Amino acid sequence: MPLFPDSFIQELTERTDLVELVSGYVPLTLKSGSYWGCCPFHSEKTASFHVLPDRQIYHCFGCKKGGGAINFIMEIENLGFQDAVRFLAQRAGLTVPETGDATMQQSRQRLLELNRDAARFFHETLRAPEGAAGAEYFRRRGLTAATIRHFGLGVAPDAWDSLLKAMTAKGYTKQELLDAGLAVRSKNGGLYDRFRNRVIFPIIDLRGGVIAFGGRVLDSSLPKYINTPDTLLFNKKRNLFALNFARKSKQGRLILTEGYMDTVSLHQAGFDCAVAMLGTGCTEYHAQLMARYTKEVVISGDTDGPGLAAVQRAIGVLEKTGLSVRVLRLPEGKDPDEFIRSNGPAAFQRLLDRAENHIEYRLLQIRGRHDLTLDEDRVAFLQEAAELIASLPSPVEREIYSARAAEAASVSPAAVENEVARTRKRMAKAEQQRRQRRDLNPASVLQPKDRSLRYDNLRSARAEEGVLRLLAMDPHLLEEAAGLRGDQFSSPLLGRIYERMAADIRAGRPFLPDLLAEELSSEEMDHLTTLLQQPEQPENRSQALEDCIEIITTEACKRAAPEDPDLLLRMQQRYREKKSYGGERK
């Protein structure tokens, strides 16, 4: 059962001006009946993102993101379906009905309350005798009482069931503790606290709710850090520690660290723009989150092998979102927390001001892998450097960094520029060959971008797409599709969408992509929007629909033919009789 009535989602969509909504995040310009702008979901210099107000959809020709108002808010505000609906309802002045199945919302609210009470328990334990080790740890790390209060830091006692007892005494069930990731079930069926003998860092979302926890050990046991697993409230790939504070910073950048303590120490030292990842590498969701609040990200990673690799991966992810990326180089073996405690905030500020842009950083990493006193290493260095420099879009950047590489290898700038030019030609030729292979295989271009949605029967699927487009343009055509069923579609996704579209039309409702926002994944919604925004010839729509239906039903018969060899022949004969009865096509 849907969480919200269709009538409410329809009213919400009608009350939401999609152009106005999107314009709050990206400037749009009216052109040829739709509004165009640079996509807020990926980096681009030429606008490929447009909003079609008559269809209440947006679509990007570059990254293929698309949907309606609800999906837009889900993507750009990093919200789930329910929270996106409530966000838009508040904006439109609508009261959210609770007449639908509100079980999910009630469960979510209950877990938020449980996490809030658990955070209070951990925080209050710091002042109790059983929290002495945690309090001493924070004291050694130089945290003030004000910082501890600001972040709501706490400690989990060295016991198996302290939190379990405290929370069940407040009326929470053991299942709720499991659902929140606060308890773990043992092999014999019993429950015990997930966080034990650890200092605790509450993870707070952008609306101030405690959605998860991170815990660091107070002894030498492993793992050193653990986090709440993914729950109804929390996904580590979509959240950042301390972003609830850092998004309000006036410093004009975000500092991305690898640890809770680094971030907390930076905030205490006055760098309130620091955030931390949550036990995972930098993801596109992290990049999109940060891009909403800043244009520049400074990465502060570990200086060991895995740390350097993580920085390289993060650079690639952040670049795609259009962020300006710099890398902070700390002395070997130091992290931001240790550096600030040893050298003070002013010294850290100087390092921050000298942070390298990502090109300089990567050139230095390449240089560090080679002994430039050896001729063969100089050649290898210049070849690797040329690959990096050749990928830069700006001729000015290519000239500058060619000169830097030439100086490092003690060769002439002209030699490096020639190597870069040859590399660019080779890269351009390889790209041209890829395009030619793609052009020679047009079927691959017609497939959905997401591999999980790929069509098994391209001929039928293209006709199925045509049916959806035609019905979206002219709902009255459904009368001419009598007998067509979703289970005849070769694509299960398109069949589901057709059944929903047909049901809406029969009920007298307009078909709106937002009505499917709850049941379709973001990839499925992207694909639906991609096919809906494609042009369809305005004339002879009835004939076009009939042609599409003939293809769909014929292909459906072919799939059934092994069980009934005569079925296809009978179906083809029926179509011939139908055409003859109707006379000449017009």
C-beta neighbour count of 338 within 10 angstroms: 16
Whole-angstrom CA distances from 561 to 150, 464, 492 are 69, 20, 19
- Phi, psi torsion values for 30, nearest 5 degrees: -75, 130
The stretches in the chain having pLDDT less than 70 are: 1-2, 98-104, 302-307, 333, 435-446, 450, 536-539, 561-586
**Which long-range CB contacts under 8 A does 280-285 form with residues at least 24 apart?**
280/236, 280/237, 281/310, 281/313, 281/314, 282/256, 282/310, 282/313, 282/314, 282/317, 282/318, 283/237, 283/238, 283/317, 284/317, 284/320, 284/321, 285/78, 285/237, 285/238
What CA–CA distance (Å, rounded) separates 66 from 534? Answer: 12
Which residues are CB-contacts of 47 (< 8 A; sequence separation ≥ 6)?
29, 36, 37, 38, 39
Specify the pLDDT at position 581: 41
* pLDDT for position 105: 72
d(CA 401, CA 16): 48
**524-545 tens-digit pLDDT:** 888 888 888 877 666 678 888 8
pLDDT at 444: 55
Write down the pLDDT at residue 562.
55
